[in-house]
Structure 1
Amino acid sequence: MFNLNFTICRLKSGELKYRIDLKDSKSPYSFSVHNSQVEIDAGFENLNNLLVIEAKNRIPQDFMIRQLYYPFRGYTNLNIDKKVLPVYLTHADNVYAFHVFEFTDPSNYSSIRRVKQVNFIVDQSLAITLENVKQISKDSPNLKDTITFPQADSLTRVLDMLQHLRTPKDKFELGSDYQFDERQGDYYGNALRYLGFASKVEKNLS
């Protein structure tokens, strides 16, 4: 059981020294930071653990390790008698997903490893049976597709996009919203069309 300890906390990193593994080098790069700003969206603690949370209200393609590493190091350096757990929280399609990470070597920025993911749905149920799926398949017409088969790799992100399409968006805007390039924006736009959640409007450039 965890108790709420702080929310949206801003603090200074103090003196941080760490290493970053380089792709084309056997030797890591030594890095030093002095009083960089650190922002923590939320924190929870119990007798043994302290959770520091970076939260996003959508599912980005990736994130900066710094958002977890600096809070982790900041509290680890205080020599508290609790294990510091860096957590990346995303909220999409009414699902709260807690991505729990660890740094196997606290002095190495590149040693991040995902431990587990835990999903929660508040006041709702996702109860669906195999019979439900069979019935949906039986009732669905077998029509010839006129839309390119989607190459989007995250159904959760596709569903999350529905919340952000109250105003029309093109592939560039989708890419910008979710921090990926226009090609992937096109993939996800086509996925929405393929599933019947959106339609494509051709612009007249004349």
Structure 2
Amino acid sequence: MAKVRSRKQDIAWQYLFDRFDIPDKIEKNGGFEITSSDINKYVREYYANRPDNAPDARNLLKFDFSSDLPEVFKESVNKEVFGKKAQFSLMPMGKDRYEISDFKTFENLKYEVLEPVRMTFPKWISGIRPESPETINGEAVAQSVAEMSGMLKYVMNDLDADVVATLSGKKGTGLIDFQISHFRDGKTKFVIDGWQSEIDGVYESPSRVLIIESKKKRPEDFNIRQLYIPTRIYHDQMKFPKEIYSAYFTYTDDVFSFHVYQFSDINDFNSLKKIREYEFVFEEESKPVTRETLKMLLAQEPNSKEPRREDGELVPFIQANDPEKIFEIPVVLSGKSIQSEQGDVFSVGTKEYLAESFKFDIRQSDYYANAAEYFGLAQKKDGYFKVSELGTMFIKCDYNTKLGLFAKQLIQRPIFRAMIEVWIATGRLPEKNIVEDLIRLHRPALMMRFRTSFSSLVKYHHRSIFIYGYTL
């Protein structure tokens, strides 16, 4: 039996995979069909002799991100047969029927380096205010803010047109068939008959349609089904043709982001192509961070050493490649224990808590929590990550002030300070060999441990300085 985590989802699916020999059946037949009724029956049977309650099929079947996949979906795949990157996934067939196969169902979210579009918000709206982030307390509210401020017109490239909301909520698929890609056998035909899809929002202008999937987090990837099924439903019901776009929308740390896609072939599940990406922020009274700000900070802030923990241990060097998630860490760590949809409870500050909050792999919990600690936004005590005093201040600041605080932290770190000095003096980032020399000087143990080539780049951007991940 493959090694599993303690999540109920992992335990339940490991039992089902073993009971029905699912990997072998997929290898022989191309897929394995299962019903939610059978899942409930056999999982409850298994949990009858356990002290905890059995998870419900409704929650066991929810895979919005690849990190939601139970470990057995990833570990039980015969890589020699299906390919090195293969994993199993699940697609709805209709009503309570599902098929498990080596479907390619997830799309990576590649975050570009963008200058954000600065927006204004209607002054007459009282109940929701961008300067009070606590009022934007859910995905639907964030989506409404994007609509009210004109972001959707911008995304649809219809600034002078009327944009109206036309559909949201549950919608039946009817009978649809399409092509879907596999890791082993290329494309096959797939049929869905009468499944209920959840649609976050559909917006129309006179010439275009925008279908939105909303999340109040920045995941590493998403399930293509969340965009394809709503797009297909709307395409099939349109009375006259329009351009259809699909957008994966996120709201985190005062930034509204849109990844805009089109399906080049409406009958091909995997034909989505990224068209463009936007980031939006709201105008603020505080001053933005500029090159002059950085020059002033370099003059004011003294040279310092690499950060250490209370016990004298060096804080691990950066291995996180999405700064937006680093900025979210203090917010997440200031929350409360959370319970997953499967019933698992995760305590604040644990790796599992961060993985569940961000919907990424557990190993990335260390990467991002350590990065937040490296920049003073968090601290690790007794094995738990906690929000620091600076992190608490960071949460309460507006957008521009956050950038200033983060720029100050960068300049207090010797490696990044030296890189910023190069950028200020030349307008260019230091070459890779210079970066390696800096790390060799300030973190020699890191160079001794990792012998393959790597680079750590710093770029001036709307978030002050963006840190890019390095390959070790």
Calculate the TM-score normalised by the size of structure 2. Answer: 0.41
1:67 matched residue in structure 2: 226
- Stretch deviating more after TM superposition (190-199 or 126-135): 126-135
Asked whether the equivalents of residues 164 and 205 of structure 2 are also in contact (C-alpha less than 8 Å), the reply is no
Cα-to-partner distance string for 1:80-133 (whole Å, 9 max, x where unaligned): 321121111000110100110111111111111111111111243773221112
Residue 109 of structure 1 pairs with residue 264 of structure 2: no
The 5-angstrom pairing of residues 129-148 of structure 1 reads 129-145=290-306, 146-148=314-316
Whole-Å Cα distance in 2 between the matches of residues 137 and 37 of structure 1? 57
Contact 1:172 1:181 in 2 (8 A): no
Give the superposed CA RMSD.
1.9
SS at match of 2:280: strand
Which residue number corresponds to residue 20 of structure 1? 180
User: What is the match of residue 187 of structure 1?
Assistant: 367
SS of the residue corresponding to residue 128 of structure 1 reads: coil
1:196 paired with 2:372, answer no
Q: How far off its partner does 1:2 sit?
A: 4.5
User: Which amino acid in the other structure matches residue 318 of structure 2?
Assistant: P
In structure 2, the residue matched to 1:169 is: 349
1:153-193 CA-partner distances (Å, limit 9, x unpaired): 10012112322221442222111111112110110000110
- Mapping for residues 23-172 of structure 1, pairs under 5 Å: 23-25=183-185, 27-79=186-238, 80-124=240-284, 127-145=288-306, 146-167=314-335, 168-172=348-352
**Percent of paired sites with the same residue:** 30
Q: Is the 8 A contact 2:217 2:252 kept in 1?
A: yes
Q: Following the alignment from structure 2 to structure 1, what is the Cα–Cα distance between the partners of residues 211 and 367? A: 33
Cα distance change on mapping 1:85 and 1:203 into 2, 3 Å: closer
- For residues 176 and 299 of structure 2, the distance between their equivalents in structure 1, rounded to whole angstroms, comes to 60
Q: Is the partner of 1:72 in helix, strand or coil?
A: helix
Deviation at 1:141, TM superposition (A): 3.5
Runs of 4+ in 1 over 4 A off after TM superposition: none
Decide whether the 8 Å contact of 1:13 with 1:38 is kept in 2: yes
- Please give the secondary structure, in 1, of the residue aligned with 2:381: coil
- Letter of the 1:77 partner, please give it: D
Offset, 1:69: 0.3
**Amino acid of the structure 1 residue aligned with 2:360:** F
Q: TM-score, normalised by structure 1?
A: 0.90
User: How far 1:203 moved relative to its partner?
Assistant: 4.4
Query: Kindly tell me: are residues 18 and 180 of structure 1, through their superposed partners in 2, closer, same or farther at Cα, counting changes over 3 Å?
Result: same
Count residues in correspondence. 203
